[in-house]
Chain A
Amino acid sequence: MAELEDSSQPRLAAGCRWSGEGADRTLVFPEGALRLQETARAILERCDGQRTFRQIVEELTSAYNASDPAKIRHDAKTFLRRLQEKRLVDF
């Protein structure tokens, strides 16, 4: 199984894309769809295959004015790994 490193550039997996706009924005993928909570969505919308995982964590830390970057890092990592297991995210 792939490891999520600081230098990894996570991206949506094949066949996984956004649908709809605004509050209705939904992640659609083979045989399913997810309407994500705000933070989960903030993580995933940054997974564009360009930003590194380190950059994503930095952006989230400043966007949420978070006092505990280590926790953000940990939560984002857990979340992305889970989506990778479901083959919704590649890195």
Chain B
Amino acid sequence: MLPSPLAIIAEITHRCPLHCVYCSNPLQMASPASELKTSEWEKVFEQAAKLGVLHIHFSGGEPLAREDLCRLVSAAHGRGLYTNLITSGIGLTEARLEELVKAGIDHIQLSLQDSNATNADWIAGTRAHVLKLAIAPAIQRSGVAFTINIVVHRRNVDHLEEMISLAESLGPQRLEIAHTQYYGWAWKNAEQLLPTHKQVLESLEVVAAAQKRLEGKIRIDAVVPDYYARFPKACMGGWGRRQMLIDPAGVALPCHAAAVIPGLRFENVRDRALEWIWRESESFQKFRGENWMPEPCRSCDRRTEDFGGCRCQAFMITGDATATDPVCSLAPARKLIDQKLERVNSAEEKSLSAEDLLPIQQENFWVYRPQPK
């Protein structure tokens, strides 16, 4: 029998005070007018709990941009769900934090864009760094589980040690260091964000050393960049297998990027029960299991570990969502990834020159994620 989803990513709004160039939101963002109402989310959480879901990840955009966030957290908590807030920290005050704690928030994940304000604000497209540092001590004191999230890429990975030190000084129990995944706005900016091979190897060493040094103090979870891997990631733990994402307008998706795949019809929680969407809907069944797999996946021993990798990546790079994930060393389309990496690595010296770090003078350097209209 099909197991229940373990977690729901509740993308409650696409509004965000930040404009991060690596944002994984879709290029077509949900308008504020289309957002689910408080009562509609409450219904979702009720259904989720009955379905056996354990975690609700409040994400966005910036979840704090919704004035009813505390009510939403309280609704999920009241159904026994584990509540996680994924935030930039912008919009969080001590008073609001106190309300969130009362509402039953279990875990807060605060993002950092870099170790120094100039670079961090450049990446976020706004002056956010100093505000993050101002609210972090209150999160630490609140007693709620505290994670710092760092997304790394070519423009900040050389500061990884400094970022880890900064994170350490803020006192989280957990640190997530994730290489950028190339979807949404990050895909648009991929040529500016992809790290060089040398940077990737160095970052892995830095992470391993920090894991050893901080063992028992801060748990470090790391996400490696799959373009440099030999085998694909188990994207979302498998299509329609562990997680469900609900976008601000109520569209239920198997992952952040699935809407890029043409020809798939996605259901809305306004029209359909969550359980039906999970079990019966065409979109969740489309790449579930192994029937859709081509060779070499179909007979590959790794198919039960990586579930065929990422369908969105397959589509974005090869134009065919059923193709073997092109990051796989066994994929017919691997050369398309290698060509990208070759461009990045051969341009290394030039692109990492000092002027590059004075971006304000450069126009059209990359695309900032705008506000949804």
On A, residues with C-beta under 8 Å from B are 1-2, 13-17, 19-20, 26, 28-31, 33, 84-87
Contact = CB atoms under 8 A, between A and B. Distances in A.
Contacts of B143: 14
A16 B107 CA distance: 9
Interface of B: 6, 54-55, 80, 82, 84, 106-107, 109, 143-147, 173-174, 215-219, 221
A30 B54 contact: no
A1 B145 contact: no
B6 A30 contact: no
A16 B145 CA distance: 8
Given A1-B217, A31-B221, A85-B215, A15 B144 contact: yes
B216 A85 contact: yes
Contacts, number: 56
Contacts of B221: 31
A19 to B, nearest CB: 6
A15 B216 contact: no
Contacts of B84: 30-31
A33 B216 contact: no
Q: Which of B80, B143, B174 has the most CB of A within 10 A?
A: B174
Contact of A19 (B80, B146, B174): B80
A35 B23 CA distance: 34
Contact of B145 (A15, A20, A26, A33): A15
Given A2-B216, A84-B216, A87-B219, A28 B54 contact: yes
21 contacts: A1-B216, A2-B216, A13-B173, A14-B146, A15-B146, A15-B173, A26-B54, A28-B54, A28-B55, A28-B106, A29-B145, A30-B107, A30-B109, A30-B174, A31-B84, A33-B6, A33-B55, A84-B216, A85-B215, A87-B174, A87-B219
